[in-house]
Structure 1
């Protein structure tokens, strides 16, 4: 079974239930992935989601990726993805799959640029980050990027979010 622990900093709109959003996005990402069996495992698999500010993401990005700017989402897997199939068969206990951390300012700016709600973009980023915890990687090859995007589309569709990668044609007269 998947357990989701989430918390949101004060910069995130208090009218939104970020914990519920995180849980829906994580569960959908896992269900759409090649590791869907984790949802029915005897083992409690925890994913931590933190909605924080740009300064924290900038510091994490510098410390772990040697990049001097904030990014929209970072994922910190707690063990190698190739071990996931082994933990599905565990008879119980609990394991931390990893952490997903989102930056409010970057997320809000990207949502505004796309003309979508911050909540919609945040859900996409949680799905994206969770897939990284599950071993998906869009930077290794074009095929891997296509595979990851396909799983993202499926996970987002399952929670009622339109394809973020769809190209809309502009009609001119």
Structure 2
């Protein structure tokens, strides 16, 4: 899978990027995603993600992760089609500040929290959701399974 990392905070280390790239490729294999698929991951602060959350979701609060799936088309959106276009799954935006706060709150490593948020966002790009109790159960079980199998356990 082709992954474009954009670190607007200049805080993510090469080791963390490698971990996240390996984790995403592992999750993509488990979900049988096309190996040529593309995604972008942008790392921001709480202020930036709050602005995005307010503008796109009408929720004026900082959040941990937001996903924009390219495979979904909403009202008045044009579907991009073509024979030789790569499959772009979408964009994931992660607040590094929230990741650090939540790692401390949940008493696990920062790397585990980053991995959790990345897998959560990735599953959203693939169509998983948590609007109902059943959807939430399926999505959270899947993300825990991916993280556990990869080796990013809660106490890691």
Range of TM-score over shorter length: 0.7 to 0.9
TM-score w.r.t. structure 1 length? 0.76
| Match 2:116 to one of 117, 120, 124 | 124
1:152 aligns with 2:150: no
Unaligned runs of 5+ in 1: 82-89, 165-173
Contact (CA 8 Å) 2:8, 2:44: kept in 1 or not? yes
Question: Please, what is the CA RMSD of the aligned residues?
Answer: 2.2
Q: Hey, what does 1:135 align to over in structure 2? A: 127
Q: Hey, what does 2:100 align to over in structure 1? A: 108
Unaligned runs of 5+ in 2: 74-81
- Secondary structure of the equivalent of 2:26? helix
Where in structure 1 do 4 or more consecutive aligned residues deviate above 4 Å? Answer: 90-93
Q: Hey, what does 2:78 align to over in structure 1? A: none
Contact (CA 8 Å) 1:12, 1:52: kept in 2 or not? no
Q: CA deviation at 1:112?
A: 0.3
Deviates more, 1:58-67 or 1:93-102: 93-102
2: distance between equivalents of 1:134 and 1:91? 21
Contact (CA 8 Å) 1:55, 1:70: kept in 2 or not? yes
Q: Hey, what does 1:8 align to over in structure 2? A: 7
TM-score w.r.t. structure 2 length? 0.83
